[in-house]
Amino acid sequence: MPEYFHSVTLDRDKCKGCTNCIKGCPTEAIRVRDGKAVIIEERCIDCGECIRVCPNRAKAALTEGLKDIARFQRPIALIPPSFYGQFPPQVSPGSIAAALQAIGFARVVEVGLAAEYVTEAVVKYVKEHRTPRPLISSACPAVIRLIQVRFPSLADLIIRVEAPIEVAAVIAREGEEGEGMFFISPCPAKVTSIKQPVGRASSGLDGALSMAEVFGQILPVVRRVEPLPGYPQASRIGTSWGRSGGEREGVAGRSLAVHGIHHVIKIFELIEQGGLTDYEFIEAQSCPAGCVGGCLTVENPFVAETNLRYIASTYPRGWGQRPKVADEVLRLVKPITPRKIWQLDDDAARAMAKLLLLQETEKELPGLDCGSCGSPSCRTLAEDIVRGRASINDCIFNLRERVRRLAEEMVDLAGKLPPAMAGGEGETIDPK
Ligand code: SF4
Ligand code: SF4
């Protein structure tokens, strides 16, 4: 298994090296070199921001396809609440479940159901762990990776409760071993979390399909099928997890919900500086409006959020009687370790020398953060130079200045003919 699996991939043939993607990457994971984007593996958190902004569709998410479910006799679809938000409220959950059966799934299980168990576990965790504060939700895998890469000091604040998709896999597999379990994913981060989990040894799922692809497949049939009985399975609280603020609504106490990866970064910076300690709980989601706005969805995030809010408002508030799920299913068992990507050298003295060199190099750069060099900012270019991945001449302003100085020198030299040549302006020697 490679050190890092990434759902987000680059099609080099489609990439035009336009540099649009390098600026929005929250972990400065992209460079453009030799006219093509390059993703630095250890920095990428699979948030999908680069998929959203690439005008040439050169970035994509690697997922399973519908043909992969055919390998299993009784494939199961795990559908998150955000999937319901992609449809207008007139399309019932029972019709969506029936349409999924029509394209080949044997069973359909709502992840919202598992979100209810997770809500209970989070409430208990917050109550039992009085310090430190604020505690951060573990539900969004892009946010977990953001903490590993950019905010290692916040790792201890992550609530050690399993994400709903893994709990849903356990509930769905109950009594039926050997089935294919596929998540209908709104984002590449969840695909990555199945292939390479953080906080647990392995995933209980067999793969993930793109929500956009599945939506396209069931659209022709969803209004024609007879709705399946028994849906929705989840109540209002579990279903609300698909949008920003939904998870927070189930947790008592002072809490805050933030969505959109760049807003999440601002909140984490505040926490890193010692702020927000009077908050019990932070719900943080990488995508705009929450999972409904993942880059593998089809509807406008705000329309999908409104759809989901309406659908959930028609559901019962409480979750009533449910079978018990074992405590260990709900627990994140493995440590969430920071990725040491900003370290310039393993040796402390060499790292310090490189840091000084980086600071000196940065002073030589114009500070415009234009991205023309293929690095997202002047500071990252300085870092790339120190790491031996770039040259000072990659800065076009620096290069232009050097060319200008060279041109001046050449003009100067052109006016200076050797003394042996007639009319030369070289140094004259008195013949006496
Ligand atoms: S946005 Fe990035 S991936 Fe897309 S064409 Fe431009 S450089 Fe290539
Ligand atoms: S998926 Fe996110 S972290 Fe990875 S390269 Fe794209 S923007 Fe950067």
8 lines ligand 2 (CB under 6 A): yes
Question: Would you state the pLDDT for residue 422?
Answer: 59
Among 8, 84, 2, 41, which residue's Cα sits nearest to residue 295?
8
Instruction: Evaluate whether residue 272 is within a structural domain.
Output: yes
pLDDT band, very low/low/confident/very high, at 401 (cuts 50, 70, 90): confident
Instruction: Evaluate whether residue 432 is within a structural domain.
Output: no
46 lines ligand 2 (CB under 6 A): yes
In this structure, what token pair is assigned to residue 322? 């449910």
Question: Would you state the pLDDT for residue 318?
Answer: 77
Q: How far is the CA of 401 from the centre of ligand 1 (A)?
A: 28
Instruction: Evaluate whether residue 3 is within a structural domain.
Output: no
Shared domain check, 248 and 313: yes
Average pLDDT over residues 261-281: 97
Shared domain check, 249 and 317: yes
Give the ligand at the shortest distance from the Cα of 59: 1
- The enclosing domain of 362 has a CATH number of 1.10.15.40
158 lines ligand 2 (CB under 6 A): no
pLDDT band, very low/low/confident/very high, at 432 (cuts 50, 70, 90): low
Q: Distance of alpha carbon 338 from its chain centroid, rounded?
A: 16
- The enclosing domain of 52 has a CATH number of 3.30.70.20
pLDDT band, very low/low/confident/very high, at 173 (cuts 50, 70, 90): confident
Q: What mean pLDDT value characterizes the chain?
A: 93
Shared domain check, 222 and 76: yes
Max CA separation in the chain (angstroms)? 116
Q: How far is the CA of 44 from the centre of ligand 2 (A)?
A: 5
Q: How far is the CA of 24 from the centre of ligand 2 (A)?
A: 8
25 lines ligand 1 (CB under 6 A): no
pLDDT digits over 136-162, tens only?
999 999 999 999 999 999 999 999 999
Shared domain check, 323 and 290: yes
Question: Is beta strand 59-61 parallel, antiparallel or unpaired with respect to 135-136?
Answer: unpaired
In this structure, what token pair is assigned to residue 415? 């006016």
Shared domain check, 366 and 299: no
Shared domain check, 314 and 191: yes
Instruction: Take atom 8 of ligand 2 and give the residue whose Cα is closest.
Output: 25
Shared domain check, 70 and 44: no
pTM for the model stands at 0.92
Nearest atom, ligand 2, residue 30 CA: 5
pLDDT digits over 302-326, tens only?
999 999 999 999 998 877 667 788 8
Average pLDDT over residues 55-84: 96
Shared domain check, 380 and 236: no
Shared domain check, 163 and 292: yes
Provide the residue type at 186 as one letter.
P
Count: domains in the chain: 3
Q: How far is the CA of 294 from the centre of ligand 2 (A)?
A: 13
Average pLDDT over residues 209-214: 98
Instruction: Evaluate whether residue 336 is within a structural domain.
Output: no
Shared domain check, 75 and 56: no
Shared domain check, 372 and 323: no
- Secondary structure of residue 257 in the 3-state scheme: strand
253 lines ligand 1 (CB under 6 A): no
Question: Is beta strand 181-185 parallel, antiparallel or unpaired with respect to 207-210?
Answer: parallel
Shared domain check, 173 and 146: yes
Q: How far is the CA of 26 from the centre of ligand 2 (A)?
A: 7
Name the phi and psi angles at 354, rounded to 5: -70, -35
In this structure, what token pair is assigned to residue 240? 């609300």
Instruction: Evaluate whether residue 338 is within a structural domain.
Output: no
Range of the domain at 202: 66-330
Helix (H) or strand (E) holding 171: helix 164-173
Question: Would you state the pLDDT for residue 419?
Answer: 72
Dist CA 202 CA 198 (whole Å): 9
